[in-house]
Amino acid sequence: MVGNTSHKTSRKTLRKTLRALRNGLSDSQHQRASLTVRDNLLSLPDIMSASSIACYLPNDGEVDLRPFMHACWALNNASALHTSLPVLHPVCKGHLLFLRYSEKTAMRVNKYNIEEPILACHDVIPTFQHQVILMPLVGFDANGNRLGMGGGYYDRTLASIQTQTLRPKLIGIAHDCQQVDELPVQPWDIPVNAIVTPTQQLSFNRI
C-alpha cells in the first residue's frame, strides 16, 4: 500500500505514482486480475440482479473488464442483462453519456485514445437507469474515497443524480496496488458504494 498519503500529498503526485504502479504489473498479473475481478463481480447480488451495468474498456493499465462483459453477455441469453460504456459527452463538456455495448457495437476512438461506441441516440442508456456503474479507479482508500484520471468526468456526471432515491450502485474497480492509507477528499468527490479488487470486496454504507 502506498503509505505517505497525508492531505499534503497532492492528488497529482498520487495519480502519477499509482498509474506507474498499475502500468508496472506484468501481463500475467493483468490477466489474473481481470479473471478474479470477473469472478468477484459475478458473486455479488447487486450484479446478478442488475439489468444495466456500466463498464469501461481498459486504458492505462486498468483492470480489464472484457471477461466480465463476456460473462454478462452469456447471461443475457437467459436474463435481460445489458452492458454499457462511457462516451465523452459531445455537448456537455466534462460529462459522460453511457451507451449500450455488445460485440456488434460500432466503435470509434476518443481524444484519450480510448474506444467508445459511436454516438447513436437509441443506444443511450440514461445514467439513472443503470443499477450498477463500474468505475475505473486510479486510487482508493478503505473509506471508499476514490481518485480517477483527473478529468472529473464521473464526478460531474454522477453529481446530477445524487438527489435521486433510486440511483445506481457505484462499484470502483482497481488493482490491489492502487490502495492508499487515506485519500485527500475534495468537496465534489462522489464516493463509491463498494470496491472490488482481485483480493478484496469492500462495501460502504451510504445514505
**Residue 54 to residue 205: CA distance in whole angstroms:** 21
Residues of this chain, 161-180, that bind ligand ATP according to CB under 6 A: none
CB-nearer residue toward ligand ATP: 38 or 95: 95
The answer to whether 196 touches 173, Cβ cutoff 8 Å, is yes
By rule CB under 6 A, what string of x and - marks binding of each residue 7-36 to ligand ATP?
A: ----x-------------------------
46 binds ligand ATP, rule: CB under 6 A: no
Cα-atom radius of gyration of the chain, to the nearest Å?
Answer: 16
- Taking each helix axis from N to C terminus, what angle separates 66-76 and 27-42, rounded to the nearest 10 degrees? 30
188 binds, among ligand FFO, ligand ATP, none (CB under 5 to 8 A by kind): ligand ATP
Q: Which parts of this chain interact with ligand FFO (CB under 6 A)? A: 56-57, 59, 62, 86, 96, 112, 114, 136, 148-151, 153-154
Stretch that binds ligand ATP, among 40-48, 84-92, 161-169, 181-189 (CB under 6 A): 181-189
